[in-house]
């Protein structure tokens, strides 16, 4: 499970703990903590232990998946298209209202 390695290091440092201290508090090996802080990969049980020790939720350690550039560009274009269609419909409604009000 991908988690934020930097956040784990920061939380450990804020508590003034060594990697060994954190490993003992979580009931895992020192190597596990080293791997988590290096690669950001933890088993679900280890993630639960880290959250319990740091008194945080699992969501606070999850890595937010980033969309690749192509997916992001498609999302932006889709949003722009909706805005343009909305403006077109609004303009047509205004035009129809003006025409209707101008011809009694």
The pTM of this model reads 0.60
11, 51, 58, 102 from 91: Cα distances, Å? 54, 53, 48, 16
What pLDDT score does 46 carry?
Answer: 95
Structure confidence by residue, pLDDT tens digits, 31-67: 999 999 999 999 999 999 999 999 999 999 988 766 6
Q: How do the domains of the chain map onto residue ranges? A: 5-60, 67-104
DSSP 44-90: HHHHHHHHHHHT--GGGTBPPPPPPHHHHHHHHHHHHHHHHHHHHHH
Question: Domain spanning 5-60: which CATH class is it, in words?
Answer: mainly alpha
Exposed/middle/buried for 62, CB within 10 Å: 0-12, 13-18, 19+?
Answer: middle
């Amino acid at each position: 499970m991908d988690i934020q390695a930097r956040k784990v290091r920061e939380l450990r440092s804020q508590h003034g703990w060594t990697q060994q201290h954190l490993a003992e508090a979580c009931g895992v090996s020192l190597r596990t903590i080293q791997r988590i802080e290096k690669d950001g990969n933890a088993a679900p049980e280890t993630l639960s232990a880290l959250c319990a020790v740091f008194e945080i939720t699992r969501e606070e350690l999850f890595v937010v998946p980033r969309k690749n550039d192509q997916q992001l560009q498609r999302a932006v274009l889709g949003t722009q298209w909706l805005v343009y269609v909305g403006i077109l419909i609004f303009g047509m409604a205004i035009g129809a209202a003006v025409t209707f009000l101008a011809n009694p």
